Amino acid sequence: MGTADDCAPIPCRRSSFMITGFKKWIQYILFDKKTTISYNPELLTSISDLLLQAKRYRHDPSLPLKDTTFVIFDTETTGFHPYAGDELLSIGAVLIKNGEINEEKVFHEWINPYRAVPSQVAEITKVKEEDLQDAPPALVVIHKFLQYIEGHYLVAHCADFDLNFINIQLKRYVRSKLTNPTIDTMSLSYHLHPSQKLHNLDYLLGLYHVPIKNRHHALGDAKMTAELFLKFIDRLERRGITTMRGLDNYIKSMHILHNHSSL
């Protein structure tokens, strides 16, 4: 979502955030109308196959960071609580290959949430009704996204937020989830800047002089996060961390690399 970079609330807001989510969950379970989508069995089989292929993907941990392929992605959503009825609105992603953003191979798809978009979300994301009314449902777009990411490393700012929205769809329909190793740039920022109080995307973009373009748009945010991540790589290399093995050793104890598969 547009404000997903605040997905890890500071302690004084955490209880309020959890209470809001619980109330929304109760409302969703007891009163809200549920939308059940019937997907083509061939689509579900293809998704399961793609997830299995990604799980079997083997990475070379000795590969230099600048030679590693990363997929930087972002989502827009109707809210913060996927288990309380909030839905995906879009997924955007870019590839980093050979230390550069591949501007010619980007990913962006709108998603029909089959529910009203809150006015505050529409205002922040600038999403229009016509963007969504003819858009495919979530799992159709997730299928395309899986084809795009293959088994590559994923990178996102506040990654758990985006992963939760994707994985709830995968668990619901194919009883599986993404297993690509994922780097969270917000958590990485905490480690690179331990004395810094702010680690939200807007602050970090300003800190690293990344121009802000198309903020709160999934593809726009993915591109800016990619530029930020490249600057993080430069900073890591100045510290002598030049390979994925080095990065893994550097951050594993900090739980930054959500390594669901073998490196």
Residue at 229 is within a domain: yes
Which DSSP helix (H) or strand (E) runs through 101? strand 100-110
- Per-residue pLDDT reduced to its tens digit, 132-188: 999 999 999 999 999 999 999 999 999 999 999 999 999 999 999 999 999 999 999
Residue at 71 is within a domain: yes
Which of 130, 135, 129 shows the shortest CA–CA distance to 116? Answer: 129
pLDDT at 81: 87
CATH code, 161: 3.30.420.10
Residue at 202 is within a domain: yes
Q: Yes or no: say if 141 and 109 are a contact pair by the CB < 8 Å rule.
A: yes
Residue at 183 is within a domain: yes
DSSP-derived secondary structure letter, 64: B
Question: Which residue type occupies 93?
Answer: A
Residue at 21 is within a domain: no
Measure the CA dihedral 103/151/109/88, to 10°. -130
Would strands 153-156 and 100-110 be described as parallel, antiparallel, or unpaired?
Answer: unpaired
pLDDT at 83: 87
Phi, psi dihedrals of residue 78, rounded to the nearest 5°? -80, -5
Residues of the chain with pLDDT under 70: 1-34, 253-263
Which of 74, 261, 262 shows the shortest CA–CA distance to 159? Answer: 74
Which residue, chain included where needed, has tokens 């392929």? 69
pLDDT at 24: 57
pLDDT at 21: 53
Q: What is the pTM of this model?
A: 0.87
Domain that holds residue 188: 41-258
Round to whole Å and give the CA distance between 128 and 122: 7
When divided into structural domains, the chain yields a total of 1
Residue at 166 is within a domain: yes
Residue at 83 is within a domain: yes
φ/ψ region of 260 (left if φ > 0, alpha if ψ in -120 to 50, else beta) reads: alpha
Would strands 70-77 and 88-97 be described as parallel, antiparallel, or unpaired?
Answer: antiparallel
> Encoding tokens for residue 92?
């955007």
Residue at 138 is within a domain: yes
φ/ψ region of 158 (left if φ > 0, alpha if ψ in -120 to 50, else beta) reads: left
Question: Which residue type occupies 11?
Answer: P
pLDDT at 36: 79
3-state per-residue secondary structure call for 42-63: HHHHHHHHHHHHHHHCCCCCCC
